[in-house]
Structure 1
Amino acid sequence: MRTSIKITLENPSEFKAQLLLWSQQFREAIFLDSNNYDQKYSSYDAILAVDAFTSVKTDEHNAFEDLKQYQQITKDWLFGYLSYDLKNDTEELKSSNYDGLHFPDVFFFQPKKLFLIKDNQFEIQYLNMCDDEVEEDLKDIGNQKSEISQKSEIKIQQRISKESYLEKVSTMLEHIHRGDIYEANFCMEFFAENASLNPIETYTRLNAISEPPFAVFFKNNKQFLLSASPERYLRKENDKIISQPIKGTAKRHADVQEDENIKQELLVNEKERSENIMIVDLVRNDLSRTASKGSVEVEELCGAYTFKQVHHLISTVVSTVESDKSPIEIIKTTFPMGSMTGAPKISAMKIIEELEETKRGLYSGAVGYFTPDNSFDFNVVIRSILYNEGINYVSFSVGSAITSLSVPEKEYEECLLKAKAMREVLET
């Protein structure tokens, strides 16, 4: 059981920054921030969950069943992540590429202390065992002040050279022209060894560059995710399921009129629209596996949305589910998300595994939460920096959708555009 206290905030943005600083004393912490991005589906502007009362950590084998049992037993708020390689738990697939990060495939925890912010309203939910600490914690949060630390030099390396990237995309195009697949998301890693960074400062800078709707600061002891994700993977509101795949990207322009022209061109670009529409078809198929009959709908097809760095095409696909469908079953039948795999999904994942050189792990997985009433909300882990402080390894990956209309050089340029913010944050 939880004790709930509601407070009105005078300065929500300042309080969010203090909350994040305060969270660093705990072994487990997750901070989710919408950056007040205007969106139709949203419960909170920001959430902080800290200090695990219980947790589950496992590899890919039987992962969804383990998570299902954990979620049904706790019947409480749970926060954590699902890594991309859980595909091996649902299909006859494997992941044998290089892994420099060594994160568990699944990690979720039940927080002792939970903070929920919506507009200027702030709700505290503490487990009853620690509800006598609220007053002292609030005082401590209010005293938090950021300190800029000395930044060490980080040298970023590229796992796949440009020449090799162009060859691999050409190979993927051969698969497409043969009819093996229609589309696949091909990714490459950028990394640094012997790297030391301040996770809070790094996250704060990355978030400031992008201000996305699904930003995450996640800490599990010495393992960190610093995410500026613009994409929702899957949300459940009561009996409604919402998926919002992103496919289609165009860079911003400093000139207002030229920027608007670029956005309008994106809306009618044949290649970018075809990328999105193919994934929408895949998502519709995935959602139909748990949906009530005839309830899968495309609410919006290829809407153009603007972010600080780029414009994106986003579609919204929805369905309704019966009350007997468990949250884990709904996720399991749609995971990994179509925007990070391709179509047909299994064939695309096999080809991706052959051509990529890094195990994706948490990259292109999902981070989010379950509520006590079986709702949930998860992002797609993209535009993210992963850091294992225990072995001083930093990693970020980027990718693009390869279709029959793809030009390898342009796909490479799109990857560099997506890598720009992470590189800037780490190297500057």
Structure 2
Amino acid sequence: MRHVAMIEAPWRAPVAVLAGLADRPWSLAFLSAGAGWSYVLAEPDAVLAVPADDPRDAFQALAAFAGPGGETLADGPPFQGGVAGLLSYDLADRVEPLGLGRLDGWPDMACARYRALLAFDHDAGRMFAVGRGETPAEAQVAAHRALAWTGLPAPGPQPPACRLEPDDPQAYETAVAEVVGRIRSGEIFQANIARRWRGRLGPGARPFDLMAGLAAASPAPFAAYLRLPGRAVVSNSPERFVQVTRRGDDLVVRTQPIKGTAPRGATPTQDADLAQALSASAKDRAENLMIVDLMRNDLARVCAPGSVETPGLFKVASFANVHHLVSTVTGRLAAGRSAVDLLRAAFPPGSITGAPKVQAMKVIAGLEAPRGPFFGAMFHLGADGGLDSSVLIRTAAFVEDACGWRVEARAGAGIVADSDPAAERQETETKIAALAQALGRAF
């Protein structure tokens, strides 16, 4: 896919375009909450699925699948076609052998190579059809194919009518108490322990209906949608995992881990007070700093010596139902290193594991059911070697059966030495609330 073509077209909301493609296997979208860029992709020319029993090195397979890249347009969107898809949390078992189980047949990796996509510049209000091909003519054909997606008929979204039922809350508090004890004994410093909710969509509802509801009621900067054969992932994530941007001959890295959470207030004054309390919280800042240090170490494995920096710490970011503390770590990939090397070095995201990372994952595996897509990543890898990816939090996973769609969702909390089990349980309920409301039930 060496060549690229781009056609500007009248603006359409990306969710509206996705509606016409959402039931097609391998349709995929990255939705950015009305700022920056969104993308809708479909009709890939090849797919790469790595199930749990596949003996290949999944990261080598991804690098080979992505290929050598090709030209990009200087005035085009950051992502101009390439490989995109899902990295399940259990892919971590291929980075560090942990004996992780697998969730309900979910693959460790599921991605596809896309010659055609639609790119949406929210800041400028412009939409582009982008195509790639082995010749300029092939690239033009692919761009026109993407343009045709804007005219597809789409059924209107309907309420999913799903009641999410949580696992036993007391069992979660018991797990948190166990982790606190293990932290105090010196085994680990922190672990992110998650709860599970399950339900079933109402008759005729589809996974896209949740995506549409979330985009309307509580848009997130790293939302994503992926339709696989008989499965789907809907994510309303506020968190970037790792990003690689080409600047001249350099590949610049950025990650923005989230740790520290407070609910939104009922009034502007209460809301401001809650945000200020989060900003001043020694517990939340310490929790955030541990993950920053972890991510610095992960980046240092593949970045040029001395290039890893922390330009921002403990910034309060506000979303529909929560405030979060967000920090930023940057670096520059060492010569000969690629975005796939960075994924291997940093996966899974430190914010949903803990520290030290490997031991925290062992603790998690002993307390939770296999995670599958939850707390993994959705990513796109461009022809220029660039990458962007999100952490799959605020995420629902769907499996189709003879009765329709089963849905599962999870939310976690970072457990430290002074964590209170009841408070951590309440934090998970705060985090899951927007997704539960979009599915049809409010806490």
- TM-score normalised over the length of structure 1: 0.91
Q: Does residue 425 of structure 1 match 2:438?
A: yes
Is this contact kept in 2: 1:223–1:390, CA < 8 A?
Answer: no
Name the stretch that deviates more: 394-403 or 52-61.
Answer: 52-61
Q: Does residue 59 of structure 1 match 2:51?
A: yes
1:8/1:273 CA distance change after superposition, 3 Å: same
User: 2:256 corresponds to which residue?
Assistant: 244
1:294-313 aligned within 5 A? 294-313=306-325
User: 1:372 corresponds to which residue?
Assistant: 383
* Aligned-residue offset at 1:307: 1.1
The one of 208, 216, 231 equivalent to 1:200 is: 208
Q: List per-residue Cα deviations over 1:335-392 (Å, max 9, x = no partner).
A: 1111000000011000110011x21111100002000011100000010111112463
1:278-289 aligned within 5 A? 278-289=290-301
User: 1:103 corresponds to which residue?
Assistant: 106
Using the alignment, how far apart are the partners of 1:164 and 1:298 within structure 2?
Answer: 37
1:258/1:52 CA distance change after superposition, 3 Å: same
Using the alignment, how far apart are the partners of 1:115 and 1:53 within structure 2?
Answer: 16
Name the stretch that deviates more: 327-336 or 88-97.
Answer: 88-97
Using the alignment, how far apart are the partners of 1:316 and 1:193 within structure 2?
Answer: 38
Q: List per-residue Cα deviations over 1:285-316 (Å, max 9, x = no partner).
A: 11111111111100101111111211110000
Is this contact kept in 1: 2:197–2:408, CA < 8 A?
Answer: yes
1:25/1:219 CA distance change after superposition, 3 Å: closer
Using the alignment, how far apart are the partners of 2:24 and 2:197 within structure 1?
Answer: 29
What's the RMSD between the two structures over aligned residues?
Answer: 2.2
Using the alignment, how far apart are the partners of 2:143 and 2:298 within structure 1?
Answer: 43
User: 1:41 corresponds to which residue?
Assistant: none
User: 2:99 corresponds to which residue?
Assistant: 94
* Aligned-residue offset at 1:152: 6.4
Using the alignment, how far apart are the partners of 1:137 and 1:108 within structure 2?
Answer: 19
1:205-220 aligned within 5 A? 205-220=213-228
Letter in 2 for 1:258: Q
The one of 160, 163, 182 equivalent to 2:189 is: 182
* Aligned-residue offset at 1:410: 0.1
Letter in 2 for 1:167: T
* Aligned-residue offset at 1:144: 4.0
Q: Does residue 45 of structure 1 match 2:37?
A: yes
Letter in 2 for 1:400: A
Letter in 2 for 1:248: G
Q: 3-state SS of the aligned residue for 1:405?
A: coil
Q: List per-residue Cα deviations over 1:2-39 (Å, max 9, x = no partner).
A: 45133153xx4x432331122236321111111124xx
* Aligned-residue offset at 1:408: 0.4
1:146/1:225 CA distance change after superposition, 3 Å: same
Q: Does residue 26 of structure 1 match 2:24?
A: yes
User: 1:384 corresponds to which residue?
Assistant: 395
Using the alignment, how far apart are the partners of 1:296 and 1:3 within structure 2?
Answer: 33
1:67/1:408 CA distance change after superposition, 3 Å: same
Q: 3-state SS of the aligned residue for 2:417?
A: coil
- TM-score normalised over the length of structure 2: 0.88
1:5/1:71 CA distance change after superposition, 3 Å: closer
Using the alignment, how far apart are the partners of 1:427 and 1:363 within structure 2?
Answer: 21
Q: Does residue 341 of structure 1 match 2:353?
A: yes
Q: 3-state SS of the aligned residue for 1:263?
A: helix
Using the alignment, how far apart are the partners of 1:348 and 1:25 within structure 2?
Answer: 37
Q: Does residue 402 of structure 1 match 2:415?
A: yes
1:55/1:264 CA distance change after superposition, 3 Å: same
Is this contact kept in 1: 2:4–2:132, CA < 8 A?
Answer: yes
1:58/1:133 CA distance change after superposition, 3 Å: closer
Is this contact kept in 2: 1:32–1:46, CA < 8 A?
Answer: yes
Letter in 2 for 1:158: P
1:140/1:350 CA distance change after superposition, 3 Å: closer
Is this contact kept in 2: 1:85–1:105, CA < 8 A?
Answer: yes
Using the alignment, how far apart are the partners of 1:153 and 1:382 within structure 2?
Answer: 22
Q: List per-residue Cα deviations over 1:232-254 (Å, max 9, x = no partner).
A: 00000121100100000111113
Specify every segment of 5 or more residues in structure 2 that has no aligned partner in the other structure, as ranges: 71-80
Q: Does residue 227 of structure 1 match 2:235?
A: yes
* Aligned-residue offset at 1:146: 4.6
Letter in 2 for 1:177: R
Q: List per-residue Cα deviations over 1:187-225 (Å, max 9, x = no partner).
A: 121112586532222111122232110011111222111
Name the stretch that deviates more: 174-183 or 28-37.
Answer: 28-37
Using the alignment, how far apart are the partners of 1:308 and 1:25 within structure 2?
Answer: 27
Using the alignment, how far apart are the partners of 2:49 and 2:113 within structure 1?
Answer: 12
Specify every segment of 5 or more residues in structure 1 that has no aligned partner in the other structure, as ranges: 38-43
1:120-131 aligned within 5 A? 120-128=125-133, 129=138, 131=140
The one of 162, 171, 174 equivalent to 2:169 is: 162
* Aligned-residue offset at 1:148: 4.2
User: 2:156 corresponds to which residue?
Assistant: 147
* Aligned-residue offset at 1:185: 0.3
Is this contact kept in 2: 1:27–1:219, CA < 8 A?
Answer: yes
User: 2:87 corresponds to which residue?
Assistant: 82
1:247/1:137 CA distance change after superposition, 3 Å: closer
* Aligned-residue offset at 1:154: 3.0
The one of 320, 345, 357 equivalent to 2:332 is: 320
1:113/1:354 CA distance change after superposition, 3 Å: same
Q: 3-state SS of the aligned residue for 1:7?
A: strand
1:143/1:165 CA distance change after superposition, 3 Å: closer
Using the alignment, how far apart are the partners of 1:152 and 1:380 within structure 2?
Answer: 24
Is this contact kept in 1: 2:69–2:385, CA < 8 A?
Answer: no
Q: Does residue 115 of structure 1 match 2:118?
A: yes
